[in-house]
Amino acid sequence: MAVTVWEPDAEGGAARPVIVFSHGFHGCATQSRFLAAALVDAGYIVFAPNHRDATCDGGAGRWRDPPEESFGRPMAWSEQTYASRADDIRRLVDALKQDEAWRGRIDWSRLGLVGHSLGGYTVLGLAGAWPGWKLAGVKAVLALSPYVQPYLARGSLGGLSAPVMYQGGTYDLFMTPAVRRHDGAYDRSPAPKYYVELRHAGHLAWTDIGAHAHAGIIAYGIAFLDHYVNASAADSRLTQRSGEAAILRYASDLGTAALSDKP
């Protein structure tokens, strides 16, 4: 398994919080360098594996390869669908914990998961949306334009056991509505939970291809991870909608609100 690592410059040898990033369908470990660089600047070590469907950065997948199950038939998905992605992350975490070179550099009490699209599906499953995938020790999950339809079809999002922030976009017409709508993924997730919808963001905004919304993606994402992974004081962005966001919803230790300029 090929894994890309971003690490802050060593300062005093202190153990760092860790983020594991799961890429989108036919993406790859390095698809979102802008976000990985921002996480490193915030003090996190970031590990990103290439899953079997990766088509860039040396991935073995091919663009013409179909998904394991059709994205249009979410009821056909189960815990067996893309279980290899969950296995990748579990094997990566186990290997790092046993590796002397990394053992003293990672603070495993501060573990966050971040995933885009099919990677969002992956990290939500690891946080308990698929009970058989559940990974111990996850402090927070940042789900970026995630594919949530199988969990809605199966009614399994109530199994999430870590705080979640969903990010969607006003131009993201396939993934975002399933998160935002009444009785969608946000509504069905237990608190603490957040939903941010970013202006002018399409589905690829969370990759280096995207031309819009990177500043908002970074600002909201790091505010969330800092609060729930690092136990830092809450940033005002978690409760106050800024200009990058069309919608901010939250139900957490910080209160409950839906802030929107949409009708």
pLDDT of 206: 97
Q: 114 and 142 in contact (C-beta within 8 Å)?
A: yes
pLDDT of 21: 98
pLDDT of 11: 63
The interaxial angle of helices 214-228 and 33-41, nearest 10 deg, is 40
Q: Is 139 helix (H, G, I), strand (E, B) or coil?
A: strand
Q: Is 18 helix (H, G, I), strand (E, B) or coil?
A: strand
pLDDT of 211: 75
pLDDT of 126: 98
Q: 261 and 246 in contact (C-beta within 8 Å)?
A: yes
pLDDT of 54: 86
- Provide the 8-state DSSP code for 125: I
- Provide the 8-state DSSP code for 55: -
pLDDT of 61: 67
Per-residue pLDDT of the chain (263 residues; tens, 9 = 90+): 899 999 998 666 789 999 999 999 999 999 999 999 999 999 999 999 999 988 887 777 677 788 889 999 999 999 999 999 999 999 999 999 999 999 889 999 999 999 999 999 999 999 999 999 999 999 999 999 999 999 999 999 999 999 999 999 999 999 999 999 999 999 999 999 999 999 999 999 999 997 789 999 999 999 999 999 999 999 999 999 999 999 999 999 999 999 988 64
pLDDT of 235: 96
pLDDT of 261: 81
Q: Residue 6 corresponds to which tokens in the numbers above?
A: 């971003």
- Name the pTM for this structure: 0.96
Q: What residue has token string 């990677």?
A: 119
Q: Is the peptide bond before 66 cis (omega within 30 degrees of 0)?
A: no
pLDDT of 57: 79
Which domains can be identified in the chain, with CATH numbers?
A: 3-260 (3.40.50.1820)
pLDDT of 104: 87
